[in-house]
Amino acid sequence: MTDVTARRRGRRRRTESADTRDRILAVAREEFSERGYEQTSVRGIAKAAGVDSALVHHYFGTKEKVFEAAIEVALAPALTGRDVALAGPADTVGERLTRMFFGLWENPVTRTPLLAIVRSAVTNDTAAAVFRRLVSVQLLLRIAGELDAPDAELRAELAAAQLVGIAMLRYVIKVEPLASAEVEAIIARVAPVVQGHLTSP
């Protein structure tokens, strides 16, 4: 066997490995979305992905780690939007963050995994800890780091609480009339409050 052949086979194995990992992760996101954290098992994820449970453990370890990997993928659009929102003038950051946040929730593609994350986090302590860790490190601390104001971390958390609380009422609990209100009307009312949390004296 030539070196070229060996390298080609090595690349193919690595590609197949990445494909398998991606397939497991995609299935895991669906399972967590449909069943929540507590009702989802590594065995169930493996069965749905057409692999052995040992392979799920090989790639991710525990169910907590699978959930964390699934959250990271689901949060990717939020992290990208966060960077865009923070790149502009400080006096309009509240509107940009609010618009980015509700844009994710209004899009069915991104809303489904977000619903799974929130539902899991409010019903399971392990899922809540994973969610809290990722949000704190990747979202809130990043926002706080861009604020030229005292108590930056508290300000970022208050802004996040404002947005997440509204999302819970609108998309999870579906309280009326908030659930059916026009999103632009919500943004118009909420953005100044978020701006105040972030930049007011």
State pLDDT tens for residues 9-60.
Answer: 544 455 657 788 888 988 888 888 778 888 889 999 999 999 999 999 999 8
pLDDT of residue 12: 45
Residue with more model confidence, 147 or 82? 147
Amino acid identity, position 59: Y
Choose the most confident range, by mean pLDDT, from 1-5, 100-104, 178-182: 178-182
pLDDT of residue 15: 63
Q: With 90 as the cut, is the pLDDT of residue 194 above it? A: yes
Length of the chain: 201
Rounded mean pLDDT of 104-112? 86
The Cα-based distances of 35 to 44, 91, 107, 113, 146 in angstroms read: 11, 41, 21, 12, 37
| Among 46, 54, 43, CA closest to 27 | 46
Rounded mean pLDDT of 94-109? 90
Specify the 3-state DSSP secondary structure of 51: coil
Share of the chain above pLDDT 70, in %: 92
Q: Distance between CA atoms of 156 and 159, rounded to whole angstroms?
A: 5
Question: pLDDT band at 1, cuts 50/70/90?
Answer: low
pLDDT of residue 36: 80
**pTM of the complete model beyond 0.75:** no
Question: pLDDT band at 192, cuts 50/70/90?
Answer: very high
CA atoms within 13 A on the CB side of 72: 11
Tokens (6 digits) for 20:
């398998």
